[in-house]
Amino acid sequence: MSGIEIRSVSQSFGVLNANPIVALQEASLTIEKGELLCLIGPSGCGKSSLLNIIAGLSRATTGDVFIDHVPVRGPLPKTMAFVFQENTLMPWRTALDNIKLGLAFQGAPRKDRDERARAALSLVGMDDFANHYPRQLSGGMKQRIQLARALALDTDIILMDEPFAALDEQTRMVLGEELSVLLAKGGKTIVFVTHSLTEAVFLADRVAVFSARPGRIKQVLSVGEPHPRPRSFMTSSKLTNLRNELYELLHDEVVATMKASFGLSASADP
Ligand SMILES: Nc1ncnc2c1ncn2[C@@H]1O[C@H](COP(=O)(O)OP(=O)(O)O)[C@@H](O)[C@H]1O
Ligand SMILES: [Mg+2]
């Protein structure tokens, strides 16, 4: 199993005829092996930027990310899988073939791909939909296939950028419960970006709260509840209290972001 060390990562983006945008400033965090860490913070605070740096899809301006003490210098398809919010399934391929394509990109032996793809479909309860095309599937089903594609790769680390954000609340709650069950089996290290306070507390071992841009890690909350989490955890006072604590931590950051983006006046402060 692998852990992730984020050490003083800063990211700025150059803008023509303007000051560069500082997306991340000196973010440092260690994600333990087998942990599910949620990143939460106001829109534009650098969550996706950080995930892309961990994934090796972009390079930090300064600082570094280490996987098992080795700095990340590019994508590591045998170590990390990625699940995005958007539907990234190929529309002309069946569910099964989409998963097999992921395995092909990873370089998995051809003879193993069918069996591994079917096993992953089964893990997400989609055995009966192997030969369906994405257009024949609901949003929740497509997201299950994307999760299966990542699980099939059997990597130590899965990076998830708001994977359930496009789904209705009921579907995302059920997928959250299923993910918690899968995690209890898996021993995978997961970094999960969400804007849902409830989802963060329900899923995470720890929640890292970002400040407004430039994103810094403001605080890390521990949830301390074993996986799989029972449905009753959703309505427990423990979850509600942690959710309220998160809201307190986030509130000022969200207001700061709105002020910066829309010129919200100070008198509009609640
Ligand atoms: N490739 C890029 N070029 C310029 N600015 C970018 C680029 N990617 C992200 N940004 C800016 O960096 C900030 C952080 O973006 P992002 O990491 O996507 O935030 P989040 O995922 O937290 O909403 C935003 O202000 C965004 O506009
Ligand atoms: Mg984002």
Beta bridge partners of 190: 36, 158
At 265, the pLDDT band (50, 70, 90 cuts) reads low
pLDDT at 176: 87
CA angle 20, 253, 210 (to 5 degrees): 75
- Percent of the chain past pLDDT 90, that is, above it, reads 67
In a domain, 269, yes or no: yes
* Contact 136 CB / ligand 1 (< 6 Å): no
**Do 178 and 149 sit in the same domain of this protein?**
yes
DSSP letters spanning the chain? ---EEEEEEEEEEEETTEEEEEEEEEEEEEE-TT-EEEEE-STTSSHHHHHHHHHTSS--SEEEEEETTEE--S--TTTEEEE-SS----TTS-HHHHHHHHHHHHT--HHHHHHHHHHHHHHTT-GGGTT--GGGS-HHHHHHHHHHHHHHTT-SEEEEESTTTTS-HHHHHHHHHHHHHHHHHH--EEEEE-S-HHHHHHH-SEEEEEPSSSB-EEEEEE---PSSPPGGGGGSHHHHHHHHHHHHHHHHHHHHHHHHHH---GGG--
| 85 and 35 part of one domain | no
CA distance 74 to 90: 24
Q: What are the φ/ψ torsions at residue 23 (nearest 5 degrees)?
A: -85, -40
The whole-number average pLDDT for the span 70-88 is 92
151 found inside a domain: yes
pLDDT surpasses 60 at 266: no
Number of domains observed in the structure of the chain: 3
Question: Domain boundary residue among 171, 189, 207?
Answer: 189
Structure tokens at 49: 């930027």
Average pLDDT, the chain: 90
Task: Give yes or no for a contact between 51 and 159, defined as CB atoms under 8 angstroms apart.
Answer: yes
127 CA to middle of ligand 1, Å? 37
Based on the fold, state whether residues 69 and 116 are members of the same structural domain: no
Structure-model confidence comparison of residues 6 and 184, the more confident one: 6
Q: What is the pLDDT of residue 173?
A: 85
Torsion of CA 144, 146, 148, 151, to 10 degrees: -130
Token pair, residue 237, equals: 């006072």
Which ligand is the nearest neighbour of the Cα of 213?
1
Nearest residue (by CA) to ligand 1, atom 8, is: 49
| Amino acid 164: pLDDT | 87
Distance CA 264, CA 270 (A): 12
Rounded CA-CA distance 255/261 in Å is 10
Which of 9, 12, 21 to mutate for ligand 1's pocket (most ligand atoms within 8 Å of CB)? 21
Flag the least confident range among 22-31, 106-115, 165-174, 220-229: 165-174
Residue bearing the CA closest to ligand 1, atom 11:
23
pLDDT tens-place string over residues 25-76: 999 999 999 899 999 999 888 999 999 999 999 999 999 999 999 999 999 9
Q: Are residues 163 and 252 in the same domain?
A: no
Q: For residue 269, is pLDDT > 60?
A: no
Query: Is 224 contained in some domain?
Result: no
Q: Measured from the CB, is residue 261 less than 6 Å from ligand 1? A: no
Residue whose Cα lies nearest atom 27 of ligand 1: it is 44
Q: Residue 268 has what pLDDT? A: 47
For the segment 129-186, what is each residue's pLDDT rounded down to a tens digit? 999 999 999 988 999 999 999 999 999 999 999 988 888 888 888 888 888 887 777 6
CB 47 within 8 A of CB 61: no
Closest ligand 1 atom to the C-alpha of 47?
22
CA atoms within 13 A on the CB side of 256: 15
CA dist list (Å): 170 to 174, 199, 229: 6, 12, 17
Q: What residue numbers bound the domain in which 143 lies? A: 76-189
178 shares its domain with 143: yes
Same domain, 26 and 106: no
Rounded CA separation 232/223 (Å): 15
Percent share of the chain, pLDDT over 70: 96
In a domain, 162, yes or no: yes
